[in-house]
Structure 1
Amino acid sequence: MTCDLLEEKLNQKQILISDGGMGTELEKLGVINDSGLWSSDALLHHPDAVYDIDRAYLEAGADIITTATYQANPLFLKKRLSTSTDKPLITKAVEIARRAKSDFGRDHPKAQMPLIAGSVGPYGAYLNDGSEYTGNYHLSKNEFKAFHLPHLRLLKQAGVDFFAFETIPNFTEVQALVELLRDNFKGISAWVSFSVNHVFDLCDGTNLEQAITYLNQVPQISAVGVNCTDIENITPILDRVNLISEKPIVVYPNNGDDYDSNLGKWVSSPNKPKFADITSNWIDKGARIIGGCCRTTPDDIHNIFTVVHSDRVFA
């Protein structure tokens, strides 16, 4: 029987708030020296910065914080680092999140305890070539299992509350992760958030309805949705997902900034919706877990918190 902590939390609260971006917050602090390692570089050299960001999201109102392990698959770390530091790094990320959770609980004794999601990125994150946004990689189901199993084991041993399978663009990889969950982690659940293309199917071309219908039949999947897509895409995606999902829906988009290649930097768009203005619409369309992905901040999460805890939502 699954000890579904995420489902328990959803039963306690109408809407759950997840955290926001980690890598871009670390980048703002200037603590990422190796862009190829991304947040793993901060885990190696500036773990206190990771703690501070985890804690900032909790103070902003997050019910869930995700570990800084999206790209920190053991094979990726072994490839990037000269020494075998994968276990300490993955364990360290979970320990940092658990310390932030514990300290938050000490300072806010009346608050409900947040959950820790063990972040698991796709094989494309290991390739480090942007293919999590194309799904253009091809492994067998068993090869996907062999790739992900060590990562899941380390996260579970370190004490995450559930897994967050994030930015998954490939349906065979989804099936492999589900089978790993079923066969090796019977006491823990996961959410699956897809990486979608311009027509809002999985990036590998799999029909979104097909993927969600498959996950509807998996007891250990506690929520389904999308992440790392433009904030403007969430409303039309919810219109599709809400028609077919038997699971709570999770959405955590990017903040809507555009990258200007001529300027060589991200540029805010005044025409993009803001979390404060659009969160209530997402709730009306069925979102149960709402957070942010790339370039979102604790301020964005607090804006979501303000909407979620308004009288409009909790009448």
Structure 2
Amino acid sequence: MPRATGPLADALAARNVLLDGGLSNQLAAQGCDLSGDLWTGRVLAEQPDQVEAAHTAYVRAGAEVLITASYQVGNDPVLLRRSVRVADRAARAAAHEVWVAASVGPYGAVLADGSEYRGRYGLGVDRLAAFHRPRIEALGGADVLALETVPDTDEAEALLRVLAGTGARAWLTYTVAAGRTRAGQPLDEAFALAAAAPEVIAVGVNCCDPADVLPALEAAASVTAKPLVAYPNDGSVWDAADRTWHPPSAPAPWNVAAWRATGARLVGGCCRVGPDVIAALRTPPP
């Protein structure tokens, strides 16, 4: 079945949908060099066939949504559009329905210093909107936009401002810790920003500890009836100074049943979560 035949929003209204996992760890497993500020974007620029192979690994694991390699490429329109085309090729080769979600990473990602885990860049909403506008325009060929790893409400407000009136559809996911955004704002207030936005088809969290998922989803469910999204890391902590992950002493448990009971329709993994975990999350349609 080439590509998805209907909007992702319709699928989320009817059933659980399986998201892919971490692109960086899969590219590393394929032997790719992710050094430098572009990170996965370096592989997209130099070896796009390897990015397609990584997407394909997740398709074979059962993923129904592929997130593009555009997270850290800044405002380069060539690479942004290429990221969608590469994911599209993998989706069209799949034997099941697959949607392409264009990653719109936070401003902190292009700084390559871990700022997305702090937020509060010192930029106002207007400047953040100006940064994101050309990126969102260049990624318009995807089925949906993944406004992901958002660390604070200023950036969420900027993204929603750019999205308004475009006709595009998106999900909005914050990176969180200890029941708040990474910048320290209450999660109910953060999720409320998107509650009335018709362009936003789902809200939730990504790039966080699995233990932080359920409280965040409960906060989201308290202010919106939109479907929820959850794709955490494996429990490792990113050290921006050393540019290394520090893994947990034991695998972090994933309470997926509770996530779904709270309203999570779109579940997958982020950093250090590979195809094996995605395959284990696969469930038969209801």
1:296 aligns with 2:273: yes
**1: CA distance between counterparts of 2:88 and 2:79?**
14
Contact 1:133 1:197 survives alignment (8 Å): no
Partner in structure 2 of residue 287 of structure 1: 264
Contact 1:167 1:193 survives alignment (8 Å): yes
- One-letter amino acid of the structure 2 residue matched with residue 9 of structure 1: A
Partner in structure 1 of residue 3 of structure 2: none
Contact 2:177 2:209 survives alignment (8 Å): no
Other structure's SS at 1:165 match = strand
**2: CA distance between counterparts of 1:8 and 1:271?**
34
Aligned Cα RMSD in Å? 2.2
- One-letter amino acid of the structure 1 residue matched with residue 227 of structure 2: P
Partner in structure 2 of residue 83 of structure 1: none
Other structure's SS at 2:93 match = helix
How big is the shift at 1:244? 2.4
Partner in structure 1 of residue 232 of structure 2: 253
How big is the shift at 1:93? 1.2
Corresponding residue to 1:99 among 89, 94, 119 = 89
- One-letter amino acid of the structure 2 residue matched with residue 17 of structure 1: L
- Encode CA deviations 1:195-243: one digit per residue, 9 max, x unaligned: 1132x21122222111212211111111010101111222232333222
**1: CA distance between counterparts of 2:34 and 2:207?**
23
Identity %: 35
Contact 2:233 2:269 survives alignment (8 Å): yes
Corresponding residue to 1:173 among 149, 155, 162 = 155
Report how many aligned residue pairs link the two structures.
Answer: 279
Partner in structure 2 of residue 139 of structure 1: 123
**2: CA distance between counterparts of 1:251 and 1:202?**
15
TM-score by length of 2: 0.90
Contact 2:68 2:101 survives alignment (8 Å): yes
How big is the shift at 1:259? 7.0
Structure 1: tracts of 5 or more residues without a match? 75-85
**1: CA distance between counterparts of 2:237 and 2:156?**
29
Other structure's SS at 1:160 match = coil
* 1:192-203 mapped onto 2 (5 Å cutoff): 192-198=172-178, 200-203=179-182
Partner in structure 2 of residue 8 of structure 1: 10
* 1:227-266 mapped onto 2 (5 Å cutoff): 227-257=206-236, 266=246
Partner in structure 2 of residue 79 of structure 1: none
How big is the shift at 1:33? 4.9
How big is the shift at 1:268? 5.4
Structure 2: tracts of 5 or more residues without a match? 1-5
Does the C-alpha gap of structure 1 residues 149 and 281 become closer, same or farther in structure 2, counting only changes over 3 Å?
same
* 1:1-315 mapped onto 2 (5 Å cutoff): 5-11=7-13, 13-74=14-75, 86-104=76-94, 108=95, 111=96, 113-156=97-140, 159-183=141-165, 185-186=166-167, 188-198=168-178, 200-257=179-236, 266-267=246-247, 269-270=249-250, 272-273=252-253, 275=254, 278-305=255-282, 308-309=283-284, 314=286
Other structure's SS at 1:173 match = helix
How big is the shift at 1:36? 1.7
Other structure's SS at 1:31 match = coil
